[in-house]
A and B are shown apart, each in its own frame.
Chain A
Protein backbone atom coordinates (compact mmCIF):
# COMPACT_ATOMS: atom_id res chain seq x y z
CA UNK A 1 0.00 0.00 0.00
CA UNK A 2 1.33 3.41 -0.89
CA UNK A 3 2.47 5.68 1.92
CA UNK A 4 -0.04 8.23 0.67
CA UNK A 5 -3.06 6.02 1.20
CA UNK A 6 -1.59 4.48 4.34
CA UNK A 7 -2.12 7.69 6.22
CA UNK A 8 -5.86 7.27 5.82
CA UNK A 9 -6.04 3.71 7.06
CA UNK A 10 -3.30 3.02 9.58
CA UNK A 11 -5.57 3.55 12.57
CA UNK A 12 -8.32 1.15 11.48
CA UNK A 13 -7.11 -1.74 13.66
CA UNK A 14 -6.92 0.59 16.64
CA UNK A 15 -10.30 -0.23 18.20
CA UNK A 16 -9.51 -3.90 18.53
CA UNK A 17 -6.15 -3.15 20.14
CA UNK A 18 -7.64 -0.54 22.45
CA UNK A 19 -10.48 -2.76 23.57
CA UNK A 20 -8.11 -5.57 24.28
CA UNK A 21 -5.82 -3.37 26.35
CA UNK A 22 -8.74 -1.77 28.14
CA UNK A 23 -10.04 -5.12 29.24
CA UNK A 24 -6.75 -5.85 30.91
CA UNK A 25 -6.46 -2.75 33.01
CA UNK A 26 -8.50 -1.61 35.93
CA UNK A 27 -8.34 -0.25 39.44
CA UNK A 28 -8.24 -3.53 41.34
CA UNK A 29 -5.09 -3.60 43.34
CA UNK A 30 -4.78 -7.29 43.96
CA UNK A 31 -4.98 -8.27 40.32
CA UNK A 32 -3.06 -6.66 37.54
CA UNK A 33 -3.04 -6.77 33.76
CA UNK A 34 -0.82 -9.80 33.62
CA UNK A 35 -3.30 -11.75 35.74
CA UNK A 36 -6.10 -10.96 33.36
CA UNK A 37 -3.98 -12.04 30.45
CA UNK A 38 -3.51 -15.38 32.17
CA UNK A 39 -7.23 -15.50 32.71
CA UNK A 40 -7.65 -15.21 28.97
CA UNK A 41 -5.23 -18.03 28.41
CA UNK A 42 -7.11 -20.15 30.92
CA UNK A 43 -10.41 -19.34 29.26
CA UNK A 44 -9.20 -20.44 25.87
CA UNK A 45 -6.82 -23.25 26.65
CA UNK A 46 -8.03 -24.46 30.03
CA UNK A 47 -4.70 -24.16 31.86
CA UNK A 48 -5.38 -23.74 35.54
CA UNK A 49 -3.76 -20.60 36.85
CA UNK A 50 -6.70 -19.71 39.03
CA UNK A 51 -9.14 -21.76 41.05
CA UNK A 52 -12.76 -21.86 40.01
CA UNK A 53 -13.94 -19.13 42.34
CA UNK A 54 -11.20 -16.70 41.43
CA UNK A 55 -11.79 -17.46 37.79
CA UNK A 56 -15.47 -16.67 38.10
CA UNK A 57 -14.73 -13.49 40.01
CA UNK A 58 -12.40 -12.28 37.30
CA UNK A 59 -14.87 -13.25 34.64
CA UNK A 60 -17.54 -11.31 36.48
CA UNK A 61 -15.36 -8.23 36.52
CA UNK A 62 -14.41 -8.53 32.87
CA UNK A 63 -17.87 -9.18 31.53
CA UNK A 64 -20.09 -7.18 33.86
CA UNK A 65 -17.94 -4.30 34.98
CA UNK A 66 -15.31 -3.60 32.37
CA UNK A 67 -16.84 -4.63 29.08
CA UNK A 68 -20.02 -2.54 29.23
CA UNK A 69 -18.06 0.49 30.28
CA UNK A 70 -15.54 0.02 27.49
CA UNK A 71 -18.23 -0.39 24.87
CA UNK A 72 -20.22 2.58 26.12
CA UNK A 73 -17.13 4.78 26.22
CA UNK A 74 -16.16 3.82 22.70
CA UNK A 75 -19.63 4.46 21.33
CA UNK A 76 -19.97 7.79 23.09
CA UNK A 77 -16.53 8.92 21.92
CA UNK A 78 -17.27 7.92 18.34
CA UNK A 79 -20.69 9.57 18.43
CA UNK A 80 -19.45 12.87 19.83
CA UNK A 81 -16.47 13.15 17.51
CA UNK A 82 -18.38 12.26 14.36
CA UNK A 83 -21.28 14.53 15.26
CA UNK A 84 -18.84 17.36 15.87
CA UNK A 85 -17.25 16.76 12.49
CA UNK A 86 -20.64 16.85 10.78
CA UNK A 87 -21.64 20.06 12.44
CA UNK A 88 -18.35 21.75 11.66
CA UNK A 89 -19.01 20.95 8.00
CA UNK A 90 -22.56 22.24 8.19
CA UNK A 91 -21.66 25.50 9.87
CA UNK A 92 -18.41 25.83 7.93
CA UNK A 93 -16.94 26.80 11.22
CA UNK A 94 -14.31 24.73 12.91
CA UNK A 95 -15.21 26.22 16.26
CA UNK A 96 -18.53 24.50 16.81
CA UNK A 97 -19.21 21.24 18.53
CA UNK A 98 -22.36 19.24 18.88
CA UNK A 99 -23.44 21.31 21.88
CA UNK A 100 -23.88 24.50 19.90
CA UNK A 101 -27.46 23.63 19.11
CA UNK A 102 -28.32 23.77 22.79
CA UNK A 103 -28.28 20.02 23.33
CA UNK A 104 -26.02 19.98 26.37
CA UNK A 105 -27.99 22.62 28.26
CA UNK A 106 -31.30 21.01 27.39
CA UNK A 107 -30.07 17.59 28.45
CA UNK A 108 -28.57 18.87 31.69
CA UNK A 109 -31.84 20.61 32.47
CA UNK A 110 -33.80 17.44 31.71
CA UNK A 111 -31.57 15.34 33.94
CA UNK A 112 -31.75 17.86 36.79
CA UNK A 113 -35.52 17.99 36.51
CA UNK A 114 -35.76 14.21 36.64
CA UNK A 115 -33.32 13.94 39.54
CA UNK A 116 -35.16 16.50 41.62
CA UNK A 117 -38.71 15.41 40.83
CA UNK A 118 -38.03 11.69 40.32
CA UNK A 119 -40.61 11.39 37.58
CA UNK A 120 -38.52 9.77 34.79
CA UNK A 121 -35.11 8.23 34.64
CA UNK A 122 -32.62 11.07 34.30
CA UNK A 123 -31.19 9.60 31.12
CA UNK A 124 -34.50 9.45 29.30
CA UNK A 125 -35.40 12.92 30.47
CA UNK A 126 -32.04 14.19 29.28
CA UNK A 127 -32.58 12.71 25.85
CA UNK A 128 -36.04 14.21 25.50
CA UNK A 129 -34.99 17.67 26.54
CA UNK A 130 -31.90 17.52 24.36
CA UNK A 131 -34.06 16.91 21.33
CA UNK A 132 -36.49 19.64 22.42
CA UNK A 133 -33.61 22.08 22.67
CA UNK A 134 -32.59 21.44 19.06
CA UNK A 135 -36.18 21.71 17.88
CA UNK A 136 -36.51 25.04 19.68
CA UNK A 137 -33.25 26.29 18.23
CA UNK A 138 -34.39 25.52 14.75
CA UNK A 139 -37.82 26.98 15.39
CA UNK A 140 -36.37 30.26 16.62
CA UNK A 141 -33.93 30.48 13.75
CA UNK A 142 -36.43 29.81 11.01
CA UNK A 143 -37.53 32.89 9.20
CA UNK A 144 -40.53 32.68 6.97
CA UNK A 145 -39.56 35.10 4.28
CA UNK A 146 -36.11 33.64 3.80
CA UNK A 147 -35.88 30.60 1.60
CA UNK A 148 -32.89 29.37 3.57
CA UNK A 149 -32.41 29.26 7.31
CA UNK A 150 -29.37 31.38 7.88
CA UNK A 151 -26.71 29.50 9.77
CA UNK A 152 -25.70 32.53 11.77
CA UNK A 153 -29.27 32.68 13.02
CA UNK A 154 -29.09 29.04 14.01
CA UNK A 155 -25.99 29.60 16.09
CA UNK A 156 -27.51 32.68 17.72
CA UNK A 157 -30.73 30.95 18.60
CA UNK A 158 -28.70 27.99 19.85
CA UNK A 159 -27.08 30.37 22.28
CA UNK A 160 -30.45 31.71 23.36
CA UNK A 161 -31.90 28.25 23.91
CA UNK A 162 -28.77 27.25 25.82
CA UNK A 163 -29.15 30.29 28.01
CA UNK A 164 -32.79 29.53 28.71
CA UNK A 165 -32.14 25.96 29.75
CA UNK A 166 -29.14 26.95 31.81
CA UNK A 167 -31.29 29.43 33.68
CA UNK A 168 -33.77 26.67 34.34
CA UNK A 169 -30.97 24.42 35.51
CA UNK A 170 -29.72 27.09 37.90
CA UNK A 171 -33.18 27.54 39.37
CA UNK A 172 -33.48 23.81 39.98
CA UNK A 173 -30.05 23.68 41.59
CA UNK A 174 -30.90 26.66 43.76
CA UNK A 175 -34.04 25.04 45.05
CA UNK A 176 -32.52 21.61 45.66
CA UNK A 177 -31.29 20.25 48.91
CA UNK A 178 -27.55 19.53 49.10
CA UNK A 179 -27.87 15.83 48.27
CA UNK A 180 -29.96 16.29 45.17
CA UNK A 181 -27.62 19.06 44.20
CA UNK A 182 -24.68 16.68 44.45
CA UNK A 183 -26.50 14.17 42.30
CA UNK A 184 -27.26 16.81 39.67
CA UNK A 185 -23.74 18.15 39.56
CA UNK A 186 -22.26 14.67 39.34
CA UNK A 187 -24.61 13.68 36.55
CA UNK A 188 -23.76 16.78 34.61
CA UNK A 189 -20.03 16.35 34.80
CA UNK A 190 -20.09 13.00 33.10
CA UNK A 191 -20.90 9.66 34.58
CA UNK A 192 -19.36 6.91 32.53
CA UNK A 193 -18.51 5.11 35.73
CA UNK A 194 -22.15 4.18 36.08
CA UNK A 195 -22.05 2.22 32.83
CA UNK A 196 -24.02 -0.99 32.75
CA UNK A 197 -25.25 -3.39 30.11
CA UNK A 198 -28.63 -1.72 30.31
CA UNK A 199 -27.16 1.60 29.32
CA UNK A 200 -25.28 -0.03 26.49
CA UNK A 201 -28.47 -1.60 25.22
CA UNK A 202 -30.31 1.71 25.22
CA UNK A 203 -27.51 3.57 23.53
CA UNK A 204 -26.38 1.14 20.90
CA UNK A 205 -29.26 1.40 18.45
CA UNK A 206 -29.60 5.21 18.24
CA UNK A 207 -25.86 5.72 18.05
CA UNK A 208 -25.45 3.11 15.33
CA UNK A 209 -28.24 4.67 13.33
CA UNK A 210 -26.74 8.12 13.74
CA UNK A 211 -23.25 6.99 12.78
CA UNK A 212 -24.51 4.96 9.82
CA UNK A 213 -26.35 8.00 8.53
CA UNK A 214 -23.31 10.23 8.92
CA UNK A 215 -21.19 7.62 7.18
CA UNK A 216 -23.57 7.54 4.23
CA UNK A 217 -23.43 11.32 4.00
CA UNK A 218 -19.69 11.62 4.19
CA UNK A 219 -19.18 12.77 0.61
CA UNK A 220 -22.18 15.13 0.76
CA UNK A 221 -20.52 16.82 3.71
CA UNK A 222 -17.78 18.03 1.39
CA UNK A 223 -20.37 19.82 -0.65
CA UNK A 224 -22.05 21.21 2.42
CA UNK A 225 -18.77 22.49 3.73
CA UNK A 226 -18.27 24.57 0.62
CA UNK A 227 -21.37 26.58 1.38
CA UNK A 228 -25.08 26.71 0.73
CA UNK A 229 -24.75 28.87 -2.33
CA UNK A 230 -22.03 26.67 -3.73
CA UNK A 231 -24.37 23.73 -3.33
CA UNK A 232 -27.13 25.50 -5.16
CA UNK A 233 -24.64 26.48 -7.82
CA UNK A 234 -24.35 22.87 -8.87
CA UNK A 235 -28.03 22.20 -8.71
CA UNK A 236 -28.37 20.73 -5.21
CA UNK A 237 -30.95 21.98 -2.73
CA UNK A 238 -29.07 21.97 0.58
CA UNK A 239 -32.08 22.41 2.81
CA UNK A 240 -33.13 18.76 3.15
CA UNK A 241 -29.58 17.61 3.62
CA UNK A 242 -29.09 20.16 6.36
CA UNK A 243 -32.16 18.92 8.18
CA UNK A 244 -31.10 15.30 7.87
CA UNK A 245 -27.65 16.15 9.13
CA UNK A 246 -28.98 18.02 12.13
CA UNK A 247 -31.31 15.14 12.95
CA UNK A 248 -28.45 12.63 12.81
CA UNK A 249 -26.20 14.82 14.91
CA UNK A 250 -28.96 15.33 17.46
CA UNK A 251 -29.59 11.61 17.79
CA UNK A 252 -25.89 10.90 18.28
CA UNK A 253 -25.31 13.68 20.77
CA UNK A 254 -28.51 13.32 22.77
CA UNK A 255 -27.93 9.62 23.21
CA UNK A 256 -24.36 10.27 24.32
CA UNK A 257 -25.41 12.87 26.83
CA UNK A 258 -28.21 10.68 28.10
CA UNK A 259 -25.86 7.74 28.59
CA UNK A 260 -22.81 9.50 29.91
CA UNK A 261 -23.51 13.07 30.93
CA UNK A 262 -21.76 16.05 29.42
CA UNK A 263 -18.24 15.52 28.17
CA UNK A 264 -17.15 19.02 27.29
CA UNK A 265 -15.26 19.98 24.23
CA UNK A 266 -14.60 16.45 23.08
CA UNK A 267 -16.72 16.94 19.98
CA UNK A 268 -14.81 20.13 19.29
CA UNK A 269 -11.19 19.17 19.45
CA UNK A 270 -11.40 15.57 18.32
CA UNK A 271 -12.50 16.45 14.76
CA UNK A 272 -9.66 18.94 14.68
CA UNK A 273 -7.12 16.34 15.66
CA UNK A 274 -8.53 14.00 13.06
CA UNK A 275 -8.48 16.71 10.44
CA UNK A 276 -4.85 17.36 11.14
CA UNK A 277 -4.11 13.68 10.63
CA UNK A 278 -6.19 12.83 7.58
CA UNK A 279 -7.15 16.18 6.03
CA UNK A 280 -10.49 17.86 5.52
CA UNK A 281 -12.03 15.43 3.06
CA UNK A 282 -14.99 13.98 4.91
CA UNK A 283 -14.80 10.71 3.05
CA UNK A 284 -11.79 9.98 5.22
CA UNK A 285 -12.47 12.14 8.23
CA UNK A 286 -15.89 10.71 9.09
CA UNK A 287 -14.72 7.11 9.51
CA UNK A 288 -11.56 8.39 11.15
CA UNK A 289 -13.59 10.31 13.69
CA UNK A 290 -15.56 7.22 14.49
CA UNK A 291 -12.47 5.13 15.04
CA UNK A 292 -10.16 7.67 16.62
CA UNK A 293 -12.94 9.39 18.52
CA UNK A 294 -13.92 6.16 20.19
CA UNK A 295 -10.36 5.01 20.81
CA UNK A 296 -9.18 8.29 22.25
CA UNK A 297 -12.03 8.59 24.72
CA UNK A 298 -11.41 5.00 25.69
CA UNK A 299 -7.78 5.83 26.31
CA UNK A 300 -8.72 8.79 28.47
CA UNK A 301 -11.15 6.66 30.44
CA UNK A 302 -8.48 4.02 30.95
CA UNK A 303 -6.27 6.68 32.43
CA UNK A 304 -8.95 7.73 34.84
CA UNK A 305 -9.69 4.15 35.84
CA UNK A 306 -6.12 3.23 36.55
CA UNK A 307 -4.83 6.41 38.09
CA UNK A 308 -7.25 6.82 40.95
CA UNK A 309 -9.26 4.52 43.15
CA UNK A 310 -12.12 6.96 43.23
CA UNK A 311 -13.89 8.05 40.13
CA UNK A 312 -13.54 11.52 38.76
CA UNK A 313 -15.94 12.58 36.02
CA UNK A 314 -14.50 12.06 32.59
CA UNK A 315 -15.24 15.60 31.38
CA UNK A 316 -12.38 16.81 33.54
CA UNK A 317 -9.98 14.38 31.94
CA UNK A 318 -10.97 15.19 28.40
CA UNK A 319 -9.92 18.72 29.08
CA UNK A 320 -6.75 17.91 30.99
CA UNK A 321 -5.46 15.37 28.50
CA UNK A 322 -7.04 16.52 25.30
CA UNK A 323 -6.09 20.16 25.54
CA UNK A 324 -2.31 19.73 25.70
CA UNK A 325 -2.36 17.10 22.98
CA UNK A 326 -4.40 19.41 20.80
CA UNK A 327 -2.02 22.25 21.55
CA UNK A 328 0.93 20.10 20.55
CA UNK A 329 -0.61 19.24 17.22
CA UNK A 330 -1.53 22.85 16.60
CA UNK A 331 2.04 23.96 17.04
CA UNK A 332 3.70 21.24 15.02
CA UNK A 333 1.37 20.98 12.07
CA UNK A 334 0.92 23.48 9.32
CA UNK A 335 -2.70 24.30 8.90
CA UNK A 336 -4.08 25.84 5.76
CA UNK A 337 -6.87 27.92 7.22
CA UNK A 338 -7.89 30.52 4.71
Chain B
Protein backbone atom coordinates (compact mmCIF):
# COMPACT_ATOMS: atom_id res chain seq x y z
CA UNK B 1 0.00 0.00 0.00
CA UNK B 2 2.66 2.49 1.03
CA UNK B 3 6.15 2.12 -0.29
CA UNK B 4 9.12 4.17 0.81
CA UNK B 5 12.29 3.87 -1.26
CA UNK B 6 15.72 5.34 -0.63
CA UNK B 7 14.38 8.19 1.34
CA UNK B 8 16.95 10.68 2.55
CA UNK B 9 16.29 13.93 4.31
CA UNK B 10 18.48 16.54 5.86
CA UNK B 11 17.81 19.73 7.83
CA UNK B 12 20.57 21.94 6.52
CA UNK B 13 23.71 19.85 7.02
CA UNK B 14 22.22 17.51 9.52
CA UNK B 15 21.24 14.19 7.97
CA UNK B 16 17.98 13.12 9.62
CA UNK B 17 16.95 10.17 7.47
CA UNK B 18 19.40 7.82 5.80
CA UNK B 19 18.33 5.62 2.98
CA UNK B 20 14.97 4.60 4.42
CA UNK B 21 13.31 1.62 2.82
CA UNK B 22 9.91 0.57 4.16
CA UNK B 23 6.73 -1.09 3.03
CA UNK B 24 3.41 -0.80 4.84
CA UNK B 25 0.78 -3.39 3.89
CA UNK B 26 -2.85 -2.55 3.36
CA UNK B 27 -5.52 -2.94 6.04
CA UNK B 28 -3.07 -3.60 8.80
CA UNK B 29 -2.12 -1.79 11.93
CA UNK B 30 1.58 -0.91 11.60
CA UNK B 31 3.70 0.73 14.23
CA UNK B 32 7.08 2.45 13.86
CA UNK B 33 9.14 2.36 17.02
CA UNK B 34 12.31 4.07 18.05
CA UNK B 35 13.98 6.43 20.46
CA UNK B 36 13.47 10.16 20.50
CA UNK B 37 15.53 11.77 17.79
CA UNK B 38 15.86 8.69 15.62
CA UNK B 39 14.00 10.42 12.82
CA UNK B 40 10.54 8.96 13.14
CA UNK B 41 8.83 12.32 13.47
CA UNK B 42 10.53 13.52 10.31
CA UNK B 43 9.43 10.35 8.60
CA UNK B 44 5.91 11.07 9.73
CA UNK B 45 6.02 14.59 8.33
CA UNK B 46 7.24 13.36 4.97
CA UNK B 47 4.62 10.65 4.82
CA UNK B 48 1.89 13.10 5.75
CA UNK B 49 3.01 15.57 3.13
CA UNK B 50 3.91 18.31 5.59
CA UNK B 51 7.39 18.53 4.15
CA UNK B 52 8.26 17.97 0.52
CA UNK B 53 10.23 14.87 -0.45
CA UNK B 54 13.50 15.88 -2.07
CA UNK B 55 15.54 12.74 -2.16
CA UNK B 56 13.71 9.44 -2.52
CA UNK B 57 10.20 8.21 -3.17
CA UNK B 58 7.08 7.78 -1.07
CA UNK B 59 4.37 6.03 -3.02
CA UNK B 60 0.76 5.46 -2.06
CA UNK B 61 -0.72 2.65 -4.16
CA UNK B 62 2.10 3.19 -6.58
CA UNK B 63 1.75 6.96 -6.96
CA UNK B 64 3.61 9.73 -5.10
CA UNK B 65 1.59 11.76 -2.64
CA UNK B 66 1.84 14.91 -4.72
CA UNK B 67 -0.22 13.22 -7.43
CA UNK B 68 -3.22 13.21 -5.16
CA UNK B 69 -4.95 16.54 -5.03
CA UNK B 70 -8.00 18.01 -3.34
CA UNK B 71 -10.70 15.52 -2.63
CA UNK B 72 -8.58 12.57 -3.77
CA UNK B 73 -5.95 13.53 -1.26
CA UNK B 74 -8.49 13.81 1.49
CA UNK B 75 -9.94 10.44 0.53
CA UNK B 76 -6.49 8.90 0.63
CA UNK B 77 -4.79 10.24 3.71
CA UNK B 78 -5.69 11.65 7.08
CA UNK B 79 -3.31 12.15 9.95
CA UNK B 80 -3.28 12.99 13.63
CA UNK B 81 -0.55 15.41 14.68
CA UNK B 82 0.92 15.21 18.15
CA UNK B 83 -0.16 18.52 19.60
CA UNK B 84 -3.49 20.23 19.39
CA UNK B 85 -3.88 23.68 20.71
CA UNK B 86 -7.32 25.15 20.59
CA UNK B 87 -8.18 28.66 21.42
CA UNK B 88 -11.88 28.76 20.72
CA UNK B 89 -14.39 26.67 22.66
CA UNK B 90 -15.97 24.92 19.69
CA UNK B 91 -18.44 22.16 20.47
CA UNK B 92 -17.25 18.63 19.87
CA UNK B 93 -19.69 18.01 17.06
CA UNK B 94 -18.49 21.14 15.28
CA UNK B 95 -14.89 20.04 15.60
CA UNK B 96 -15.67 16.57 14.28
CA UNK B 97 -17.64 17.82 11.30
CA UNK B 98 -14.64 19.80 10.03
CA UNK B 99 -13.35 16.43 8.95
CA UNK B 100 -15.66 16.78 5.96
CA UNK B 101 -14.13 20.13 4.95
CA UNK B 102 -12.42 18.69 1.93
CA UNK B 103 -15.65 17.28 0.57
CA UNK B 104 -18.33 19.83 1.45
CA UNK B 105 -17.26 23.25 0.32
CA UNK B 106 -19.41 25.77 2.13
CA UNK B 107 -21.71 23.96 4.44
CA UNK B 108 -21.89 20.47 5.78
CA UNK B 109 -24.70 18.34 4.40
CA UNK B 110 -27.14 16.17 6.23
CA UNK B 111 -25.18 13.04 5.43
CA UNK B 112 -22.10 14.69 6.90
CA UNK B 113 -23.90 15.14 10.21
CA UNK B 114 -24.97 11.51 10.09
CA UNK B 115 -21.37 10.49 9.71
CA UNK B 116 -20.48 12.56 12.74
CA UNK B 117 -23.06 10.80 14.86
CA UNK B 118 -21.85 7.44 13.61
CA UNK B 119 -18.22 8.24 14.35
CA UNK B 120 -19.04 9.43 17.86
CA UNK B 121 -20.96 6.23 18.38
CA UNK B 122 -18.11 4.07 17.10
CA UNK B 123 -15.73 5.62 19.57
CA UNK B 124 -18.24 5.59 22.43
CA UNK B 125 -18.11 9.32 22.91
CA UNK B 126 -21.68 10.32 21.93
CA UNK B 127 -22.13 11.80 25.37
CA UNK B 128 -19.52 14.44 24.51
CA UNK B 129 -21.36 15.62 21.45
CA UNK B 130 -22.47 19.05 22.71
CA UNK B 131 -19.64 19.79 25.12
CA UNK B 132 -17.06 22.49 24.45
CA UNK B 133 -13.89 20.92 23.18
CA UNK B 134 -11.73 22.98 25.52
CA UNK B 135 -13.37 21.38 28.55
CA UNK B 136 -12.36 17.84 27.66
CA UNK B 137 -9.53 15.80 29.11
CA UNK B 138 -6.53 14.86 27.03
CA UNK B 139 -7.84 11.41 26.26
CA UNK B 140 -11.27 12.63 25.27
CA UNK B 141 -9.73 15.22 22.98
CA UNK B 142 -7.64 12.60 21.28
CA UNK B 143 -10.73 10.54 20.61
CA UNK B 144 -12.55 13.58 19.20
CA UNK B 145 -9.69 14.13 16.79
CA UNK B 146 -9.88 10.50 15.77
CA UNK B 147 -13.60 10.84 15.25
CA UNK B 148 -12.74 13.69 12.92
CA UNK B 149 -10.56 11.44 10.86
CA UNK B 150 -13.23 8.77 10.80
CA UNK B 151 -15.66 11.29 9.41
CA UNK B 152 -13.12 12.09 6.73
CA UNK B 153 -12.82 8.33 6.08
CA UNK B 154 -9.46 8.25 4.32
CA UNK B 155 -7.88 4.99 3.24
CA UNK B 156 -4.76 5.62 5.27
CA UNK B 157 -4.61 7.01 8.80
CA UNK B 158 -1.29 8.26 10.15
CA UNK B 159 -0.85 8.98 13.83
CA UNK B 160 2.06 10.70 15.55
CA UNK B 161 2.57 9.37 19.08
CA UNK B 162 -1.15 9.02 19.75
CA UNK B 163 -0.82 7.56 23.24
CA UNK B 164 1.59 10.09 24.65
CA UNK B 165 -0.73 12.18 26.78
CA UNK B 166 -3.26 9.52 27.62
CA UNK B 167 -3.90 7.65 30.83
CA UNK B 168 -3.76 3.88 30.93
CA UNK B 169 -7.48 3.52 30.26
CA UNK B 170 -7.42 5.62 27.11
CA UNK B 171 -4.14 4.14 25.95
CA UNK B 172 -5.49 0.62 25.72
CA UNK B 173 -8.86 1.91 24.54
CA UNK B 174 -7.25 3.77 21.69
CA UNK B 175 -4.98 0.93 20.64
CA UNK B 176 -7.96 -1.40 20.60
CA UNK B 177 -9.87 1.00 18.40
CA UNK B 178 -6.98 1.43 16.02
CA UNK B 179 -6.70 -2.27 15.57
CA UNK B 180 -10.45 -2.50 15.00
CA UNK B 181 -10.21 0.22 12.37
CA UNK B 182 -7.57 -1.70 10.50
CA UNK B 183 -10.05 -4.52 10.30
CA UNK B 184 -12.67 -2.13 8.95
CA UNK B 185 -10.82 -1.39 5.75
CA UNK B 186 -8.46 1.33 7.00
CA UNK B 187 -4.69 1.19 6.86
CA UNK B 188 -3.43 2.48 10.17
CA UNK B 189 0.15 3.56 10.78
CA UNK B 190 1.27 4.91 14.13
CA UNK B 191 4.58 6.29 15.38
CA UNK B 192 5.17 5.33 18.96
CA UNK B 193 7.92 4.74 21.38
CA UNK B 194 6.36 2.43 23.93
CA UNK B 195 7.24 -1.09 22.73
CA UNK B 196 4.76 -3.00 24.82
CA UNK B 197 1.59 -1.42 23.55
CA UNK B 198 2.89 -2.04 20.07
CA UNK B 199 3.70 -5.66 20.79
CA UNK B 200 0.22 -6.23 22.18
CA UNK B 201 -1.90 -4.54 19.53
CA UNK B 202 0.00 -4.04 16.28
CA UNK B 203 0.09 -6.29 13.25
CA UNK B 204 3.37 -5.01 11.78
CA UNK B 205 6.32 -3.58 13.63
CA UNK B 206 9.14 -1.43 12.26
CA UNK B 207 12.13 -0.07 14.12
CA UNK B 208 14.34 2.93 13.62
CA UNK B 209 17.65 3.77 15.14
CA UNK B 210 19.83 6.77 14.46
CA UNK B 211 18.10 7.82 11.25
CA UNK B 212 18.03 4.33 9.78
CA UNK B 213 15.67 1.42 9.67
CA UNK B 214 16.86 -1.58 11.61
CA UNK B 215 15.50 -5.11 11.44
CA UNK B 216 15.59 -7.98 13.88
CA UNK B 217 17.13 -11.29 12.78
CA UNK B 218 13.74 -12.76 12.15
CA UNK B 219 10.12 -11.76 12.51
CA UNK B 220 9.57 -14.05 15.41
CA UNK B 221 12.41 -12.61 17.44
CA UNK B 222 11.10 -9.06 17.66
CA UNK B 223 11.18 -9.11 21.40
CA UNK B 224 14.75 -10.37 21.50
CA UNK B 225 16.46 -8.32 24.28
CA UNK B 226 19.70 -8.09 22.33
CA UNK B 227 17.91 -6.55 19.38
CA UNK B 228 15.87 -4.23 21.55
CA UNK B 229 19.00 -3.09 23.30
CA UNK B 230 20.44 -2.04 19.96
CA UNK B 231 17.28 -0.02 19.31
CA UNK B 232 16.73 1.50 22.76
CA UNK B 233 20.10 1.27 24.52
CA UNK B 234 18.28 -0.33 27.44
CA UNK B 235 18.56 -3.82 28.88
CA UNK B 236 15.26 -5.65 28.66
CA UNK B 237 13.88 -8.87 30.01
CA UNK B 238 11.23 -10.80 28.16
CA UNK B 239 8.11 -12.03 29.84
CA UNK B 240 5.23 -14.04 28.53
CA UNK B 241 1.69 -13.26 29.61
CA UNK B 242 -0.94 -15.60 28.26
CA UNK B 243 -0.03 -15.79 24.58
CA UNK B 244 1.75 -12.45 24.25
CA UNK B 245 5.34 -11.46 24.96
CA UNK B 246 6.16 -8.20 26.63
CA UNK B 247 9.44 -6.70 27.73
CA UNK B 248 10.37 -4.96 30.94
CA UNK B 249 13.45 -2.85 31.50
CA UNK B 250 16.20 -4.34 33.56
CA UNK B 251 15.90 -3.48 37.25
CA UNK B 252 18.74 -5.41 38.77
CA UNK B 253 20.25 -2.18 40.01
CA UNK B 254 17.40 -1.75 42.51
Q: Is B216 in contact with chain A by the CB < 8 A criterion?
A: no
* B86 / chain A contacts, CB cutoff of 8 Å: 226-227, 338
Report how far A226 CA is from B152 CA in the complex, Å: 16
Question: Which residues between 19 and 38 of chain A lie within 8 Å of chain B, taking CB atoms?
Answer: none
Report how far A313 CA is from B95 CA in the complex, Å: 42
Report how far A79 CA is from B115 CA in the complex, Å: 35
Interface residues on A, range: 20 to 34
* B50 / chain A contacts, CB cutoff of 8 Å: 147, 229, 232
Closest CB in chain A relative to B14 CB, distance in Å:
15
Q: Is A231 in contact with chain B by the CB < 8 A criterion?
A: yes
Interface pair B149/A233, CB less than 8 Å apart = yes
Question: Which residues between 81 and 120 of chain B lie within 8 Å of chain A, taking CB atoms?
Answer: 81, 84-91, 94-95, 98-99, 101-102, 106-108
B154 is contacted by which of A226, A235, A283 (Cβ under 8 Å)? A235
CB-CB under 8 A for A216 and B98, given A92-B87, A232-B49:
no
Interface pair A234/B84, CB less than 8 Å apart = no
Interface pair B81/A280, CB less than 8 Å apart = no
Report how far A222 CA is from B148 CA in the complex, Å: 13
Q: Is A93 in contact with chain B by the CB < 8 A criterion?
A: yes
Closest CB in chain A relative to B97 CB, distance in Å:
8
Q: Can you list 25 residue pairs at the A/B interface with Cβ under 8 Å? A: A92-B88, A147-B50, A217-B106, A219-B107, A223-B101, A226-B86, A226-B95, A229-B50, A230-B84, A232-B48, A232-B49, A232-B50, A232-B79, A233-B78, A233-B79, A234-B99, A235-B75, A235-B76, A235-B77, A279-B89, A280-B90, A335-B89, A336-B134, A338-B85, A338-B89
* A-B complex: 8 closest residue pairs judged by Cβ atoms: A235-B74, A336-B89, A280-B88, A338-B134, A235-B102, A223-B98, A223-B101, A336-B132
A233-B48, A281-B90, A338-B89 are known; give 8 further A-B pairs, CB within 8 A. A92-B87, A220-B106, A222-B94, A233-B78, A235-B76, A275-B88, A336-B134, A338-B86
